[in-house]
Chain A
């Protein structure tokens, strides 16, 4: 019993320690973001790596989720004779919740893990030490552009996911189930509010992007300089970021009704 309490205590201490380290790391990134020289070219390259190279998976996943949502939504609404509300159901579900959350989870799996692995391998191969010896801050050159790029691309990817999802829902509802196309679109148009739904979705995606960017770069930067360390950093990035997204999503939804 004592051993169990000791273990819980030790895990709690480690958790708080990591939380503090993460906060300090975030402060370093923010300071690097406002300190010259500007890393615009590196940032653009990272936007390409994290965003453009994720387009296909986001589009395909968004389409699939929209189609499933359309199918399940139709089946459920049919019981209540409310199939005309399918557009609203698909739209609100995607915009308020599924778009930002699923996009963040997909980005974590693809881009977040790749980021952690890349930085971790740079640690193991002394590339970050090489930067330090050339009087270049590795947080400024490597970490900050990746974290900022992830924060920037997440809302864009989320928007693309939502659009593809709406298209998927339209295809299932209108093309396959026979709902009137105008009914689908007008239901979507009347139920979705810009400030409450669209802006809220955008802000969620930005927060998730910052979270994934921070966790992925932190884990990679602090990984052990071995192949096992890089592997552990990659795995923990996906797990920690995914769980964090879901927990933060709850608090955002509960506190601000987004």
Chain B
């Protein structure tokens, strides 16, 4: 429910080491500016939610951290590495500290669920196949999935895809987990399930988590810090602080108010 804050969390800001830092980052696509001088920090071991409307740059922030795109200006420090200047080959070393849960899952369609989870372990570890199998089953159980080893991604429901994607993202025990719209396209029950899983991952593994979302209720429940991307400003703070903000733009976004505007027939082009 919007406004409820169930998560017990330590106070933000004071003393929390920054794991990811944005300094004056400008990003544009085909001349269209998306980020205008974004400067913010994401504390280590905490859940930071990047909130904003469609096209505000939420996914872009995650892709910048992952080095999938590079900014036109500014600096991005990820675990001490300036990823805005690294080549693709150099990024592979940094990405071993990252895990990413894509909006659509990004599971490899030609591999079964088992092989999708085993893939990063086979690529980057010398684990034996029995050990890999144990780890895969452990992760699947952790996200509440059983007897799905043999299924292909196309045979999974939307919620199952998200859970498999989450399991794959954390199976290599990353320091930083990036989640792109984990609640999109899910029913309310599945949203709560994913939210609980993300909370559990953060509690048990103490992974720094950056979640992009426009799902306000879940954001306010799970976030330690909210980075709100508005059209002309970026607001950073704890959920409770943002909820108390007198700024009408912030309050309007968080309470999902939409200006009630009656359309005149002329505006409809005289369709009726």
A: which residues have CB within 8 A of B? 37, 121-122, 125-127, 129-137
Contacts and interface: CB of A to CB of B under 8 A. Distances in A.
Nearest to B106: A130
Contact of A130 (B88, B91, B108, B172): B108
B69 to A, nearest CB: 10
A131 B120 CA distance: 9
Contacts of B172: 134
B9 to A, nearest CB: 27
5 contacts: A122-B109, A126-B104, A129-B102, A130-B100, A135-B124
B104 A133 contact: no
Interface string B95-112: 110111011101111000
Nearest to A130: B106
A65 B92 CA distance: 50
Interface in B58-114: 63, 66-68, 88, 91-93, 95-96, 98-100, 102-104, 106-109
A73 B127 CA distance: 63
Kindly name the residue among B103, B108, B123, B124 whose own CB sees the greatest number of chain A CB atoms within 10 A. B108
Interface string B111-137: 000000001100110000000000000
Interface of B: 63, 66-68, 88, 91-93, 95-96, 98-100, 102-104, 106-109, 119-120, 123-124, 172, 178
A133 B98 contact: yes
B66 A133 contact: yes
Contacts of A122: 109
B106 A129 contact: yes
B108 A135 contact: no
Given A133-B66, A134-B123, A135-B124, A125 B104 contact: yes
A136 B99 CA distance: 13
A121 B104 CA distance: 13
B68 A132 contact: yes
Nearest to B62: A133
A134 B178 CA distance: 12
Nearest to A128: B106
Nearest to B96: A135
A125 B109 contact: yes
Contacts of B104: 125-126
Contacts of A134: 95, 119-120, 123-124, 172
Given A129-B68, A130-B100, A135 B106 contact: no
Contacts of B119: 134, 136
A37 B122 CA distance: 11
Q: In the complex, which of the residues A129, A134, A137 has the most CB atoms of chain B within 10 Å of its own CB atom?
A: A134
Contacts of B102: 126, 129-130
A172 B79 CA distance: 73
A145 B95 CA distance: 24
A39 B119 CA distance: 13
Given A122-B109, A127-B109, 19 more contacts: A121-B109, A125-B104, A125-B106, A125-B109, A126-B104, A126-B106, A129-B66, A129-B68, A129-B106, A130-B106, A133-B95, A133-B99, A133-B100, A133-B178, A134-B123, A135-B93, A135-B95, A136-B123, A137-B88
A250 B139 CA distance: 57
B255 to A, nearest CB: 32
A133 B123 CA distance: 13
Contacts of B63: 129
A127 B107 contact: yes
Interface centre among B88, B91, B93, B100 (most CB of A within 10 A): B100
B124 A133 contact: no
A127 B106 contact: yes
A1 B33 CA distance: 37
A239 to B, nearest CB: 26
